[in-house]
Structure 1
Amino acid sequence: MTDLQPRSMAELGLFTGVPQYENFARIKDLMPTQAMPASLAPSPWPQGEPVTLPESYTFEGEVRATERFLADTDTSALLVLTDGAVRYEGYWLTGGPDVQWLSMSVAKSFVSALVGIAVDEGHIKSVDDAISAYVPVRPGSAYDGVSIRHVLQMSSGARWVEDYSDPESDIFRLGAVLSGVGTLDDFVASAVGESEPGTVCRYNSGDTQALGALLAAATGRPVSEYMWEKLCEPLGMESPGYWVADSTGTEMAFAGLNLTARDFARIGELYRNGGVWQGKQVVPAQWVGDSVTVAAEHLQPGRPWVGGHTFDLGYGYQWWLPDGDRGEFSAIGVYNQFVYVDPASRTTIVKLSANPRYGASEEEADNRENETVAFLRAVARAGD
């Protein structure tokens, strides 16, 4: 673990309009992290026929310029793969092919994959088990008796406010742990329930931190160590990766993964191919299918709650699911981090960003998540 002092979100100036592209490119130099080496057998992406980005896309009935959008959202990296080959690769600001960028909540989809592997290996008997059968929690607290499945679906019933414009919200309290105010495990153990589990999808980073605690307890290994063996090594990751950690070395499972754009793309391609990588089943096919399927009414697009508003996308096992019949799915993190997959066009796209307006309000005009989906759809469908 790197010997650095934890920093709070306030110290980094998150969600205040302060530019973050300098910070997101060097988190390993700013925060304590657990390191994951590059694969012993790195697997570079093949180069496909280069394509150009569409000059414009349509959002809410308005034609918008691609170049302006990429600049306005402080895009650092944009990587487009088709059939597993690089078709477009661009870097700006502090981005670069060897730069490990902060995932934010894209990390959640990696955690979900690891849970699926742990179930397949027998470390976790069933997603219908109570997560408290594995993770120590206080009696009567939010995760006491709640099924792992409901935690995966952001439907634990735990009280949560994911409002980036409110410094008193739960996401800021969770972030404060990284500056030494308690531990991540204590945060999970003492969470407070609010609604009946399995009835409301409320986006909750605490749920993913609980899944991180589940992985560590069930496998007897740190999340970073388990991920290196089960994902980094078999997927041939070309560069080292890092997990932000608290003062005890516990990984920030909900948002702390740092990888290059090329290595982030591997989770998208893995899931696009049903959990198979170079002929080997890395994540069970059934798990992949369940992860990118809307399994209940409260998970349908327009039903999940993020902060004080509903979101236009549906939810699976820590994956966002755009509406429509193409089977799209995406890992999404704040400040416009995306690993987007469109199976119909055999496309995976990574967008790493530091949108300076993100979190200034709950308005789409600031956060631009729905607009990013529209842009990525335009890129993926350009060859239709």
Structure 2
Amino acid sequence: MAGDRKWATGAGVVAAVGAAAAGARWVWRHQDELVMRPPLSEWTFTHMSLLLPTETVPRAGRPSVLPRAPRPLEFTYEWDGAARTLSDLHTRTRTTGFAVVHRGRLVHEAYPGRFAGPDRRFQLFSLTKSVTSVLVGIALEEGAIGSTDDKAVTYCPELAGSAFDGPTVEDLLHMSSGAGGEEDYEDPDAPVNRLMRAVAGQGGTVLEAVRSVRPHSTPGTRFNYSTLDTQVLGWVLEAATGRTLAQYAAERLWGPIGAESDAYYALSRGVPRTAVGGGSFNATVRDMARFGLLMARGGRWGGEQVVPQRWVERSCGAGLPHLEVGALGERYPAHYGYANQWWTLGGAGRAFTGLGIYGQFLRVDPEADVVVVKTSAWPVADDPALDGETATALAALVTHLSADA
């Protein structure tokens, strides 16, 4: 009997260990789903440095002053048959951080998120693409990149024979490489998810994920939003400058605008470590407001032309029919066009915005002299209703501020 009890106890321990191991394997396989959805996502989006390797973008030696002139923002916007307030926007669209700059002054700042605050670095997802674009513009002005007509493979010979052996820097900037499939975050086999699994160390290298996609159209003829396009663009930048994205961003952007906090890029777990040029930049709301103000002021900061003015103008609109507002295709909201790794808004003011999944926004309106930063923790990566409501609210906010003589 004693032997039976020992056997039963031992079997129970083995079963428990086996169950724990199986549970651990399940958590490992599904880690992306767990950390990107409520209730964990709000913590994840402010603590990415605890989940992946990182490379720091140091704050400026002399942070710039971002003048403050706080004021209430008493405006409403119409959505779903009712007049909504800014407080409604935050609640309904799960805002975590929010800042508004008007005429060069920080007029409003709020952090509704449970883990948010002025010093917290937020995972900006595809807002990273707009940062990459600006760095490419600077590298072109300096001559490190010869021309937007240069083929990507000229700088990245490891892509020879792949779908990216042919597209130019220009094609990549406009998401018109002709390579890869839909950016479908719910499809496990979508190129973006293969890329993210590689970054997380769950299968293959980042280079293998990029090389795995097939061509679907002639480069330069069709818009197809793809994080892989920006990944290649980031590699072009690194190869041309001899700097990592973090190093180049520190030298040419974060330092010149006087960023008050360190930012960082999340890196792949596997070696060689690589930053995701289309989705791994983490920064404070205030410093992203500085970045937006740089773009609103034509690329100038403190009397210095940090970003070429012509590069800023490119980001307002490409002048290409397949990239115009409403022409991107049925998979994309009709209120957006695209240019230079930014989403364009059209109209006389030619406002433009950086976007990131789960509700990250950087709206730049040079005509109205308004910049809005919004970080969020949506329950899903892409939600047309939440995007539409946010876009409507931010447009109403700009109108409200513009009415202030």
TM value normalised by structure 2: 0.87
Is 1:8–1:179's contact at 8 Å kept on the other side of the alignment? no
Structure 2 vs 1, CA of residues 262 and 342 (structure 1 numbering), >3 Å: closer, same or farther?
Answer: same
Q: How big is the alpha-carbon RMSD for the aligned residues of Structure 1 and Structure 2? A: 2.0
Deviation larger for 160-169 or 216-225: 160-169
Whole-angstrom CA distance in 2 between matches of 1:27 and 1:238: 19
Question: Who is 2:361 aligned against?
Answer: 338
Q: Return the match for 1:217 from 239, 264, 285.
A: 239
Question: Who is 2:282 aligned against?
Answer: 258
Alignment gaps of 5+ in structure 2: 1-27
Deviation string 1:21-54 (CA, Å, 9 cap, x unpaired) is 1111111122111111111111131112x22223
Question: Who is 2:73 aligned against?
Answer: 53
Q: What is the DSSP-based 3-state SS (H/G/I as helix, E as strand, rest coil) of the residue aligned with 1:349?
A: strand
Question: Who is 1:3 aligned against?
Answer: none
Residue 379 of structure 1 pairs with residue 397 of structure 2: yes
Question: Who is 2:214 aligned against?
Answer: 192
Whole-angstrom CA distance in 2 between matches of 1:209 and 1:20: 24
Q: Which residue identity lines up with residue 78 of structure 2 in the other structure?
A: T
Deviation string 1:132-170 (CA, Å, 9 cap, x unpaired) is 111124444221121110110001011222112222322
Among all aligned residue pairs of Structure 1 and Structure 2, give the percentage whose two residues are the same amino acid: 36
Deviation at 1:318?
Answer: 0.4
Is 2:351–2:363's contact at 8 Å kept on the other side of the alignment? yes
Whole-angstrom CA distance in 2 between matches of 1:283 and 1:309: 29
Question: Who is 1:318 aligned against?
Answer: 341
Q: Which residue identity lines up with residue 67 of structure 1 in the other structure?
A: S
Whole-angstrom CA distance in 2 between matches of 1:214 and 1:94: 35
Deviation larger for 340-349 or 228-237: 340-349
Whole-angstrom CA distance in 2 between matches of 1:379 and 1:310: 20
Is 2:355–2:362's contact at 8 Å kept on the other side of the alignment? yes
Deviation at 1:349?
Answer: 0.7
Question: Who is 2:21 aligned against?
Answer: none
Deviation at 1:290?
Answer: 1.3
Residue 369 of structure 1 pairs with residue 393 of structure 2: no
Residue 292 of structure 1 pairs with residue 316 of structure 2: yes
Is 1:137–1:188's contact at 8 Å kept on the other side of the alignment? no
Deviation at 1:312?
Answer: 2.9
Matches of residues 100-111 of structure 1 in structure 2 within 5 Å?
A: 100-111=121-132
Deviation string 1:248-284 (CA, Å, 9 cap, x unpaired) is 2211111100000011112211111111111000111
Q: Return the match for 2:226 from 192, 200, 204.
A: 204
Is 1:9–1:175's contact at 8 Å kept on the other side of the alignment? no
Question: Who is 1:144 aligned against?
Answer: 165
Whole-angstrom CA distance in 2 between matches of 1:240 and 1:91: 19
Whole-angstrom CA distance in 1 between matches of 2:68 and 2:338: 32
Residue 279 of structure 1 pairs with residue 299 of structure 2: no
Is 1:184–1:209's contact at 8 Å kept on the other side of the alignment? no
Question: Who is 1:177 aligned against?
Answer: 198
Q: What is the DSSP-based 3-state SS (H/G/I as helix, E as strand, rest coil) of the residue aligned with 1:79?
A: strand
Whole-angstrom CA distance in 1 between matches of 2:353 and 2:371: 9
Alignment gaps of 5+ in structure 1: 1-6
Whole-angstrom CA distance in 1 between matches of 2:94 and 2:63: 29
Asked which structure has the greater CA Rg, the reply is: 2
Q: Which residue identity lines up with residue 365 of structure 2 in the other structure?
A: D
Question: Who is 2:23 aligned against?
Answer: none
Matches of residues 119-158 of structure 1 in structure 2 within 5 Å?
A: 119-158=140-179
Deviation at 1:15?
Answer: 5.7
Structure 2 vs 1, CA of residues 268 and 108 (structure 1 numbering), >3 Å: closer, same or farther?
Answer: same
How many aligned positions are there?
371
Deviation at 1:9?
Answer: 7.5
Is 2:289–2:372's contact at 8 Å kept on the other side of the alignment? yes
Is 1:136–1:189's contact at 8 Å kept on the other side of the alignment? no
Matches of residues 24-63 of structure 1 in structure 2 within 5 Å?
A: 24-48=45-69, 50-59=70-79, 62-63=82-83
Whole-angstrom CA distance in 2 between matches of 1:90 and 1:261: 10
